[in-house]
Amino acid sequence: MFSYQEFIKVLDANKIEYAKVRYPAAEVITNDAKDDYVYLIVNGCVGAYFCEEPSSMYSLFGEGIMLGYCMILDAFPNKFIYKTITESFIYVIKKADIEYVLTFPENYPFNYFFMREISKAIYYKSLTSCTSSEDKLLHCLFSIIQLLKIPVKEGYYILPKKITTKILLQYSELNSSTFYKQLAKLRKQEIVVKHENVWMISQKKAAEHADRMHINLEEKGTIL
């Protein structure tokens, strides 16, 4: 019942106006510390980079994530540069309008939905930090599958073409030497393959390691 699609219906029912914007890949959506808007990803992939260190990626976000939502709950200043990785279709909504809609008791459960989706990024980062060093890149790939809700197609989880090796390196937060060593190992084991400049993760091989790492790839968004 509570989903971003249903939330849009609530906005429409309350005659809330919002912009529907299609951003090209590699475009900054916002880096404003006191932004008056939030950004609902309807389609696409967005990277969150630290304002104080723009080359450092915090996380990747996909469909259903409302960027900047934490600013509504606790008036936190925005600390991220949100930049599209792929072409993205985004609804731009005033924070004040979100706050208004959430004043109605029947709408407050949407708060749980949006916070749950955002908290996954934090959760996955914490799990990666606890993962054994030799599995960190593989865990990052599993996290991306979960965050972007990537389905299986012909036996592979196929990452968007714009998620390049550079993006994977940034998301992993590994140093270059360790990253490329682990990537080479995953390719040798045929867990990861690259076809026509697109990274693909073998469902069969991934499942073998996911069980060992206590990760459930069958249910997107669930790491046990």
Predicted confidence (pLDDT) per residue in 69-128, tens digit: 988 877 678 889 999 999 999 999 999 999 999 999 999 999 999 999 999 988 988 888
Name the nearest CA neighbour of 199 among 53, 85, 87, 122.
Answer: 85
Q: Both tokens of residue 20?
A: 């529907």
Decide the pairing of beta strands 46-50 and 198-202: unpaired
CATH number of this structure's domain 4-124, picked from the four choices 2.60.120.10, 3.90.120.10, 2.40.10.230, 3.30.310.50: 2.60.120.10
Residue 223 has pLDDT above 50, yes or no: no
Q: Which amino acid is at 2?
A: F
Q: Give the residue range(s) of CATH 2.60.120.10 domains in the chain.
A: 4-124
Name the nearest CA neighbour of 56 among 80, 76, 34.
Answer: 80
Residue 222 has pLDDT above 60, yes or no: no
Residue 224 has pLDDT above 50, yes or no: no
Give per-residue pLDDT as tens, 4-47: 999 999 999 999 999 999 999 999 999 887 889 999 999 999 99
Other CB atoms within a 10 A radius of the CB of residue 69 amount to 19
Whole-angstrom Cα distance, residue 111 to residue 7? Answer: 10
Whole-angstrom Cα distance, residue 116 to residue 118? Answer: 6
Three-class HEC string of the chain: CCCHHHHHHHHHHCCCCCEEEEECCCCEEECCCCCCEEEEEEECCEEEEECCEEEEEEEEECCCCEECCHHHHHCCCCCEEEEECCCEEEEEEEHHHHHHHHCCHHHCHHHHHHHHHHHHHHHHHHHHHHCCHHHHHHHHHHHHHHHCCCCEECCEEECCCCCCHHHHHHHHCCCHHHHHHHHHHHHHCCCEEEECCEEEEEHHHHHHHHHHCCECCCCCCCEC
Residue 219 confidence (pLDDT): 57
Q: Give 67's strand partners.
A: 39
Whole-angstrom Cα distance, residue 117 to residue 187? Answer: 31
Q: Give the residue range(s) of CATH 1.10.10.10 domains in the chain.
A: 131-212
Residue 214 has pLDDT above 90, yes or no: no
Residue reference for tokens 């731009």: 92
Architecture of domain 131-212: Orthogonal Bundle (1.10)
Average pLDDT estimate for 142-152: 94
Query: pTM for the whole thing?
Result: 0.92
